[in-house]
Amino acid sequence: MEKKTQESMKIGREAENAAPGSNTPGRQPGEKGEEPGQAGQQPGKEAAGPEQAVGETHKTDVKSMTLPELESWLSGMGEKPFRAKQLFDWIHNKQASSFSDMTNLSKALREKLEKEAGLVVLKAAKVETSGIDGTRKYLFETEDGNFIESVRMTYSYGMSACISSQIGCAMGCRFCASTIGGVVRSLTAAEMLDQVYRIQADSPARVSHVVVMGMGEPFDNYDELVRFLHLVTAKEGMGLSARNLTVSTCGIVPGIRRFAKEGMPVTLALSLHASSQKAREEMMPIARKYPLDEVLDACRYYFRETGRRVTYEYSMVNGVNDSPENAEELGRLLGHQGAHVNLIPMNPVREKTWRQSPKEAISRFKMELENYGINVTIRREMGRDIDGACGQLRKRYTNQIL
């Protein structure tokens, strides 16, 4: 992981593209900035990277720091290395929400931290619980007055948190509410972590799985994503297994190839949603930049490098991508290579005209794919009664308060 300088850990510089407290979009849907996910750059920077903006003060973002970084920062303040371990434990293991809670630190150090450090803590502006399946949807407010969505789902294997990686999204997928209004900025690792920590604090059982599948394209915020993954799996912190983490991309080829080399056995999910290049271009503008054959090639590379099978996500949209011909085309594309396809009954989005495929069409599609030796699951619909589709709650809430 790239080591952050202390300067880049400062929080509080104003966003380049977004005034604090505003929801002014940066890039609009489909409009691209720098090439995301390439080595030696900071993807998503033009949409305000983590070093640029959170809150109004100029404090150091200690929640985004690794243990060695904390040690070096604290030693610059004349503190012993064991203090870094204690601080890391409070932040990532006990998940404290204020420095005053950190009772085994000296009063003098706590006062120094209050002055010099920021402990990013998200506020829950709204929480909704599904009466159908108990799924809980959170609208968190960031310190600069923006809103992001996270979801907690309960499965037989435990609790899973679905988190956002950006405020809004620049990718412009036609079926998605998160992209309406473009991207405001990328989230810091601390803001990604704190979605998990706030959800954990609100949960009766351990959050064992995390999926980065909420608002935003994770590889458009590559460096902070990887930093987040290292921190959430740190054994001195929450210690989640990398195998219980999933990162979902719309198909940023350089990001997939770079991620394959990170040495983390994280599951990769590709938002595929179409069975041909032409159909994919109509649904997802990113397909014009990264053609389907290149994306699938990058996914195969990811599998070879990590040994982790890629999950192909396919939203079932009535009359758009759910015909028997589509199933056959997809079968030919992915058959006989150990692929796993997850069919998603599309959650309707008010602002979009597309609707969910009927149940029979989804079952028929599944059977067709299975004929090609593909492992197929149908995603359980979660939180349908609480604006389950990603980006909808934020849209509704900000419309009300603006």
Q: Which residues are catalytic?
A: 149, 390
Binding status of residue 287 toward ligand SF4 by CB under 6 A: no
Min. distance of Cβ 7 from ligand SF4 in angstroms?
Answer: 30
Amino acid at 178: S
Tokens of 305: 């490098």
Is residue 214 a contact partner of residue 249, using CB atoms and an 8 Å limit? Answer: no
Binding status of residue 210 toward ligand SF4 by CB under 6 A: no
Is residue 346 a contact partner of residue 354, using CB atoms and an 8 Å limit? Answer: yes
Kindly indicate which of the ranges 81-89, 154-162, 175-183, 289-297 contains the residues binding ligand SF4, using the contact rule CB under 6 A. 175-183
Binding status of residue 188 toward ligand SF4 by CB under 6 A: no
Q: Which x/- pattern over 361-380 shows residues binding ligand SF4 (rule: CB under 6 A)? A: --------------------
**Binder of ligand SF4 out of 226, 250, 334, 386 (CB under 6 A):** 250
Nearest to ligand SF4 of 67, 346 (CB atom)? 346
Strand order in the sheet with 340-345: 123-129, 136-141, 147-155, 158-163, 207-212, 245-249, 267-271, 311-316, 340-345, 375-378
CB atoms within 10 A of CB 48: 25
Min. distance of Cβ 350 from ligand SF4 in angstroms?
Answer: 15
Min. distance of Cβ 180 from ligand SF4 in angstroms?
Answer: 9
**Binder of ligand SF4 out of 70, 109, 176, 393 (CB under 6 A):** 176
CA 329 to chain centre: 30
Kindly indicate which of the ranges 82-90, 145-153, 209-217, 379-387 contains the residues binding ligand SF4, using the contact rule CB under 6 A. 209-217
Report the Cα–Cα distance between both ends of the chain, in Å, rounded: 39
Task: Please compute, for residue 216, the number of CA atoms within 13 A of its CA located in the half-sphere on the CB side.
Answer: 35
Burial 310-334 (b: 16+ CB within 10 A, else e): bbbbbbbbeebbbbeebbbbbbebb
Beta bridge pairs of residue 59: 11
Binding status of residue 171 toward ligand SF4 by CB under 6 A: yes
Question: How far apart are alpha carbons 169 and 218 in whole angstroms?
Answer: 10
Enumerate residues 6+ apart whose C-beta is below 8 A from 23.
Answer: 146, 147, 181, 184, 398, 402
Min. distance of Cβ 60 from ligand SF4 in angstroms?
Answer: 30
* Residue showing tokens 């709650």: 393
Binding status of residue 169 toward ligand SF4 by CB under 6 A: yes
Binding status of residue 268 toward ligand SF4 by CB under 6 A: no
Identify each DSSP E strand in 255-390 by its residue range: 267-271, 311-316, 340-345, 375-378
Min. distance of Cβ 27 from ligand SF4 in angstroms?
Answer: 11
* Residue showing tokens 């990170």: 262
- Tell me the C-alpha to C-alpha distance, in Å, between residue 309 and each of 137, 218, 266: 28, 19, 10
Binding status of residue 216 toward ligand SF4 by CB under 6 A: yes
Binding status of residue 179 toward ligand SF4 by CB under 6 A: yes
Identify each DSSP E strand in 259-329 by its residue range: 267-271, 311-316
Number of residues engaging ligand SF4 in binding (CB under 6 A): 13
Binding status of residue 344 toward ligand SF4 by CB under 6 A: no
**Binder of ligand SF4 out of 139, 161, 211, 215 (CB under 6 A):** 215
Binding status of residue 221 toward ligand SF4 by CB under 6 A: no
Question: How far apart are alpha carbons 378 and 360 in whole angstroms?
Answer: 12
**Binder of ligand SF4 out of 54, 173, 310, 330 (CB under 6 A):** 173
Min. distance of Cβ 195 from ligand SF4 in angstroms?
Answer: 15
Binding status of residue 272 toward ligand SF4 by CB under 6 A: no
Binding status of residue 271 toward ligand SF4 by CB under 6 A: yes
Please report, as ranges, the residues that interact with ligand SF4 according to CB under 6 A: 169, 171-173, 176, 178-179, 215-217, 250, 271, 390
